[in-house]
Amino acid sequence: MDDLTYDLKQLCRRNKDGGAMTQAQRMHSLASIARQLKEMGFCNMRATSLKGTHVDALLERWQAEKLSVGTIKNRLSHLRYWAQKISKAGIIPADNAKLGIPQRQYAGSGSKARDLDGARLDRVTDAHVHMSLRLQQAFGLRREESIKFQPAYADRGDHIALKGSWCKGGRERTVPITTAEQRAVLGQAHALAGSGSLIPAHKSYIQQRHVYDGQCKAASLSAMHGLRHAYAQTRYEALTGWKPPAAGGPAVRELSPEQCAVDAEARQQISRELGHERIQVTSVYLGR
pLDDT in tens, 268-279: 999 999 998 788
Give which of 115, 133, 139 is closest to 273, Cα–Cα: 139
pLDDT in tens, 160-216: 999 999 998 899 999 999 999 999 999 999 999 999 999 999 999 999 999 999 999
Please give the DSSP secondary-structure letter assigned to residue 286: H
pTM strictly above 0.75: no
Bin 44: left if φ > 0, else alpha if -120 < ψ < 50, else beta: left
Of the pLDDT bands very low, low, confident and very high (cuts 50, 70, 90), residue 104 is low
Task: Give the integer Cα–Cα distance in Å for 26 and 11.
Answer: 11
- DSSP-derived 3-state class of residue 46: coil
| CA-to-CA dists, residue 44 to 35, 36, 208, 265, angstroms | 12, 13, 40, 52
Proportion of the chain above pLDDT 70, given as a percent: 97
Determine the pLDDT at residue 279: 83
Amino acid at 190: H
Mean pLDDT taken over the chain: 90
DSSP H helical ranges for the chain: 3-14, 20-39, 52-64, 69-85, 118-121, 127-139, 143-148, 151-154, 180-193, 205-218, 226-240, 257-274, 282-286
β-bridge mates for residue 160, sequence order:
155, 175
CB atoms within 10 A of CB 178: 14
User: Residue 281: is its pLDDT beyond 60?
Assistant: yes
